């Protein structure tokens, strides 16, 4: 019973983060399952089965709050489903020992870009041109593949790439990524059923993760609508940097000891906190300037 309660809390916390920042549900949940001895394929299958329910609830909540661009969902979600099915089907025969660190390096660079861009310059100036299928389709295919083979990756790959394009505001990026993840979760689950024949999957654990995620989904959708975009961009960038730095430090490429890891984590946390504080202060200043600009015409009309 204690394990089920813990899993429900993990599902709640993971979905709250995922629904607010567009990533980290799979990474958080899979990490716990692996820590208690679940084999990688079964862990990823358990998480993706739970994600069928959580992503459906999250997508509905984001749609309710106006955070979804359905054209983007279709253009990235369908290729993502294909990639997820392929990744799930061949997970047992694939090695991610090399692919994982390589992906982390790329994501770390993207995370740094997003963090610096939103902290220093604020919301990117969006282009009038829509996101094209030739950009979203390959992105979805790669993100879906890594999501299934690594137990998480749809958000960490998709969210920073679309954010970096500067063509969508953060809340719609997050809402669209979360909604399209439903297709990825379904396809990955089907692939795991073909590959594992249901072996090693504890459906009680799936239910516990699902319950926690369902509770958090509407809260996260509300949160992402009300958090200032500039602050949200800094939060997303910090999550990407911290998560992928942790992966690299634990990889066979580096395999850093605790005396090396701890100072690095401290520097990242302090830098991340400073970036979020700076973004929040800049947002408050911009809002004050907007209010002042609105009041000036009103004062002029009254005096006239």
pLDDT tens column, 194-229: 766 656 566 777 777 777 777 776 776 676 667 776
Residues contacting residue 208 through CB under 8 Å, at least 6 positions apart: 4, 5, 7, 8, 11
d(CA 180, CA 81): 9
Confidence of residue 127 (pLDDT cuts 50, 70, 90): very low
pLDDT tens column, 34-62: 656 666 667 777 777 888 877 887 788 88
As given in the structure block, the two tokens for residue 237 are 């960038």
Q: Per-residue b/e over 59-69, b at no fewer than 16 CB within 10 Å?
A: bebbeebebbb
């Amino acid at each position: 019973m204690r394990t089920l309660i813990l899993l429900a809390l993990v599902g709640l916390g993971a979905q709250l983060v995922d629904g607010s920042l567009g990533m980290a549900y799979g990474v958080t949940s899979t990490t716990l399952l692996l820590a208690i001895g679940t084999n990688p394929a079964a862990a990823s299958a358990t998480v993706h089965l739970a994600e069928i329910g959580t992503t459906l609830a999250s997508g509905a909540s984001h749609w309710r709050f106006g955070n979804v661009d359905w054209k983007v969902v279709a253009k990235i979600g369908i290729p993502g489903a294909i990639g997820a099915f392929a990744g799930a089907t061949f997970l047992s025969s694939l090695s991610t020992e090399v692919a994982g660190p390589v992906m982390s390096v790329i994501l770390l660079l993207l995370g740094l870009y997003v963090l610096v861009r939103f902290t220093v310059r604020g919301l990117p100036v969006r282009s009038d041109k829509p996101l094209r299928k030739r950009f979203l389709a390959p992105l979805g295919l790669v993100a879906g593949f890594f999501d299934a083979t690594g137990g998480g990756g749809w958000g960490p790959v998709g969210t920073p790439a679309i954010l970096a394009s500067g063509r969508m505001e953060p809340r719609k990026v997050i809402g669209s990524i979360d909604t399209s993840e439903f297709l990825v979760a379904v396809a990955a689950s089907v692939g795991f059923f073909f590959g594992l024949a249901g072996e090693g999957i504890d459906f009680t654990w799936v239910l516990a993760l699902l319950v926690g995620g369902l509770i958090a989904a509407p809260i996260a959708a509300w949160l992402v609508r009300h958090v200032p975009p500039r602050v949200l961009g800094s939060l997303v960038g910090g999550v990407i940097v911290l998560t992928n730095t942790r992966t690299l430090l634990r990889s066979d490429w580096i395999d850093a000891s605790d005396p090396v890891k701890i100072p690095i984590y401290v520097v990242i946390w302090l830098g991340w906190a400073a970036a979020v504080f700076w973004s929040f202060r800049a947002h408050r200043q911009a809002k004050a300037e907007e209010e002042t600009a609105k009041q000036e015409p009103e004062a002029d009309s009254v005096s006239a």
